Amino acid sequence: MYIIVGGTGHVGSAVAKTLLDEGKAVTIVTRNPEKAGAWRQRGAEVALADVHDVTSLRQVFRHGKRAFLLNPNADISSDTDREERKTVRCLLEAIDGSGLEKVVAQSTMGAQPGEECGDLNVLYELEVGLRNQPIPASVVRAAYYYSNWDAMLGSIKRDGVLSTMLPANLKLPMVAPEDLGRVAARLLQEPIEQIGIYPVEGPKRYSANDVAAAFAAAVGRAVRVDVIPRENWENAYRSLGFSVAAARSYARMTALTVDGPEYPEDPIRGSISIQAYIGQLLRNSS
């Protein structure tokens, strides 16, 4: 049995679907009973549990041999770093004494020690926690999710504008959640002794201009990139409902992304292009 934490999100659902398509036994961990029916129809078991309920989560893990761990995003109106660090602690406590023989965890490219830099710091601490416990663990370091652009579809259809904090010509590693799911599913099935850090990105690197061109081709209209100046980033996050602490952390994380961490020269490459992803996004929205 494979236990999938975050199985109702972009990446977790891709892990679960990949395993189910291969005929594997899968349990989806969710706290939302409304999402249980669709997974049961696909052949998965569903465990209703909150990731902050360590005792319940450990009991779920005891019904499986291997688990995929994903730290879900905290409510943006909260202190997201504080809340997500709490979740990391709960995940690490829950696998302790669970009997799991191997775990695979989702992290991010650019993960590093520090404070007030969002996932870059929080997921680094998850990596460290996994290294300091006895269960063999593999870590997927993901590139920038294509799905981060999903929210732009409405404004692009309406106004032909893609708003971003990224410089228009800056090419970054990006990746489809489906490709991340396939890699994680494969790592879950690898021998116990095969562990390590696995960076994953798409078939090539893309800029905001490339993303705008992909949207333009999909929707059949010109799309202009509107770059938000750095000095306005925190206010831009605040206007979206982020707390003061979350806006500061996300702005600092964005700055580190723009200023260029060292990206791996030989990552695992997925097969889904940004053009294919956005084309499917448009079809799904119709």
Q: What is the pTM of this model?
A: 0.93
Q: Which pLDDT belongs to residue 34?
A: 80
Q: What is the pLDDT of residues 204-260, one digit of tens each?
A: 999 999 999 999 999 999 999 999 999 999 999 999 999 999 999 999 999 999 998
**250, part of any domain:** no
Q: Which two tokens stand for residue 136?
A: 């063999």
Q: What confidence category does residue 286 fall into, taking pLDDT thresholds of 50, 70 and 90? A: confident
Q: Which pLDDT belongs to residue 159?
A: 95
Q: Which pLDDT belongs to residue 83?
A: 96
Q: What is the pLDDT of residues 165-183, one digit of tens each?
A: 999 999 999 999 999 999 9
**253, part of any domain:** no
Asked if the model's pLDDT at residue 36 lies above 90, the reply is: no
Instruction: Return all residues near 82 (Cβ < 8 A) that are at least 6 apart.
Output: 245
> Of 139, 62, 152, nearest to 106 (Cα)?
139
What's the mean per-residue pLDDT of the chain? 95
**74, part of any domain:** yes
| Number of separate domains in the chain | 1
Average pLDDT over residues 99-119: 95
**275, part of any domain:** no
Q: Which pLDDT belongs to residue 7?
A: 81
* Residue 65, φ and ψ in degrees, nearest 5: -110, -30
**286, part of any domain:** no
Domain CATH number, residue 7: 3.40.50.720
Q: What confidence category does residue 90 fall into, taking pLDDT thresholds of 50, 70 and 90? A: very high
d(CA 90, CA 176): 28
Q: What is the pLDDT of residues 114-125, one digit of tens each?
A: 999 999 999 999
**E strand or H helix that includes residue 27:** strand 26-30
Asked if the model's pLDDT at residue 185 lies above 90, the reply is: yes
**107, part of any domain:** yes
Q: Which pLDDT belongs to residue 167?
A: 97
- Work out the percent of the chain whose per-residue pLDDT is above 90: 89
List for the chain the helix, strand, coil content (%; round to 5): 45, 20, 35
Q: Which pLDDT belongs to residue 37?
A: 82
Q: Which pLDDT belongs to residue 66?
A: 97
Asked if the model's pLDDT at residue 261 lies above 80, the reply is: no
* Residue 171, φ and ψ in degrees, nearest 5: -90, 130
Q: Which pLDDT belongs to residue 33?
A: 78
**280, part of any domain:** no
Average pLDDT over residues 277-282: 96
* C-alpha distance from residue 161 to each of 154, 184, 206, 215, 232 (Å): 10, 34, 18, 10, 18
Average pLDDT over residues 33-48: 87
**109, part of any domain:** yes
| Residue 6 contacts residue 39 (beta carbons within 8 Å) | no
**E strand or H helix that includes residue 276:** helix 274-285
Identify the domain containing residue 57 by its residue range: 2-144+174-202+263-270
